[in-house]
Structure 1
Amino acid sequence: MKFTDLDLSKSYTYADYLKWQFDERLELIKGKISKMSPPPGEMHQRISTILSSELYFYLKGKSCHVYSAPFDVRLSRTINDKQVITVVQPDICVICNPKKIDERGCLGAPDIVVEILSPGNNKKELQNKYEVYEEAGILEYWLIYPAEKTLSKYVLKAGQFQALRPLTVGDEITTNVLPGFALNLSEVFEDNILDKY
C-alpha cells in the first residue's frame, strides 16, 4: 500500500497508523491524516538540539524527561489505544509522569510541548495542533518562530490556553512546570548562526 492509496476523507485510528509503512511522515489529528512538513532544515535542527540539550541537563536525575521527534505522542483521555485518533510528533516534549511512557512513545498529554515552526507548517501548528493540545490538557505549549527569533508560550488555565507575552532574544524562558529552569533565548537563537537566514 502506498500513501497515495489512502482515502484522505476517511477517519483513522492509531491501530491504522501502526500498520502504515510509508516513506512520508504522518500524524493523525482527530482521525484525519496530516502529512508532516519536509524534513527540518539546519536552523530548525540547531534550535531543537540546543533546547533539548538544555532541558536534558536540567532534568538529569529528576522525574521529568525530555523527548525529541520523531517520538509518537498518542493524545487520549483513556488508556485504550483503540480509541486514540490523534497521534502527533512534537519537536520536543517534556513528560513528568513515567506511567505515560511505553515502548511506542507517550500515551496521554505531555506536560510541555514545543513546536519549532518551519515555512509551510504554520497553519497546521497554529490551528490544528493548538486545539488538540489544549483539549488534551497539555500544561504548556511553546511555539518557536526561528525567522522572527521569538517564542510564544501558552499556559493551560481552567482548561484553556492563555497566551503570555511573546519572548525574544535577551528574554528568559521559565516555566512553572519545571521550577528553577531558566534559559536565555539568546542561547537558543544563536545570532551568528541565524543571521544568515
Structure 2
Amino acid sequence: MGNTAIKNDRIYTYADYLSWPEHERWEIINGTAYMMAPPSTEHQRIVGNLFFQFKSHLNGKVCEPFISPFGVIFEPLATEDNITTVVEPDITVVCNTAFITDKGCKGTPDLIIEVLSRSTASRDMIQKRSLYEKYRVAEYWIVDPTHQIITRYYLDHKTGTYLQPDYFDKENTISPIIFPDLQIDLKNIFPEQS
C-alpha cells in the first residue's frame, strides 16, 4: 500500500516522536518518520500467539518480552534531540534490565520479531534488517503471514553481520538461538487459511 504517511521534509528525532499524539503510531528511521497503519486481525493473532510463547517461557527469568507499541532506541547515551531512529517492533525481547525504561527500551534488544503487513513489508525486510544488524541485535525474525514462513537471522558476533538466514514453515518447530529450550510449533502460531 502506498498510502502510508511519511515525514521526510527534515530530520526527525526522538523528541518529535515523544511530542506526537498517542493515538498516532510513528517510527523514525535515520530521521525519516513513517506512520504505522493499523494492523490486520491476522497480524494481531500471529503477534499474540508468538508473544504468548515467549511470555510463558520467560516468566520469572531475566529476559523479558514486550509487545508493540514499545519504543526501541539504540543509542542509550544520546539526547532526545540527537536520536534519529526509534522503532516499535511487534515483539522485543530485552535481557539487559538496565535498558528497560518507562518509555520502552534504550539500548540494543536481544531479539526482535516483525510480522509483515503490506504497508511495512519492504521496510521490515530491508531497512529494519539493516538497522538491526548495524546495532547488533543478536536475533531477528521476519514473520510472513501470507506464506506462513519465518525467516530467522542470527548475528555473527565476530563480524557484526547476520549469517545466512534459516527458514521455517508451518510444518516446522522453531527455537530462538538465544533460548534453544523454547520450542515453538508453528502450527500453533499461524492461523488456518481458508
TM-score by length of 2: 0.90
Deviation at 1:176, TM superposition (A): 2.4
Contact 2:153 2:166 in 1 (8 A): no
Partner residue in 2 for 1:80 = 78
Contact 2:170 2:187 in 1 (8 A): yes
Contact 2:172 2:185 in 1 (8 A): yes
Contact 1:152 1:163 in 2 (8 A): no
Deviation at 1:18, TM superposition (A): 1.3
Partner residue in 2 for 1:24 = 24
Residue deviations 1:46-96 (CA, integer Å, cap 9, x gap): 1111100010000011100000000101122x4233332110000001110
Partner residue in 2 for 1:34 = 34
Partner residue in 1 for 2:106 = 107
Contact 2:139 2:177 in 1 (8 A): no
Partner residue in 2 for 1:163 = 164
Deviates more, 1:78-87 or 1:11-20: 78-87
Residue deviations 1:4-44 (CA, integer Å, cap 9, x gap): 9x9622112112221222643211101111222x2111110
Partner residue in 2 for 1:47 = 46
> 2: CA distance between counterparts of 1:161 and 1:49?
26
Partner residue in 2 for 1:9 = 9
- Residue 117 of structure 2 corresponds to residue 118 of structure 1: yes
> 2: CA distance between counterparts of 1:92 and 1:70?
9
Aligned residues between the structures:
187
Structure 2 CA distance for partners of 1:98 and 1:24, relative to 1, 3 Å? same
Deviation at 1:163, TM superposition (A): 2.9
> Which amino acid counterpart does residue 8 of structure 1 have in structure 2?
N
Partner residue in 2 for 1:182 = 183
TM-score by length of 1: 0.89
- Identity percentage of aligned residues: 32
Deviation at 1:153, TM superposition (A): 0.5
Deviation at 1:187, TM superposition (A): 0.9
CA RMSD of aligned residues (A): 1.7
> 1: CA distance between counterparts of 2:145 and 2:31?
30
> 1: CA distance between counterparts of 2:172 and 2:33?
37
Deviation at 1:173, TM superposition (A): 1.1
SS at match of 2:142: strand
- Which structure features the higher share of helix residues? 1
Unaligned 5+ segments in structure 1 are none
Deviation at 1:175, TM superposition (A): 1.9
Unaligned 5+ segments in structure 2 are none
Deviates more, 1:110-119 or 1:14-23: 14-23
SS at match of 1:143: strand
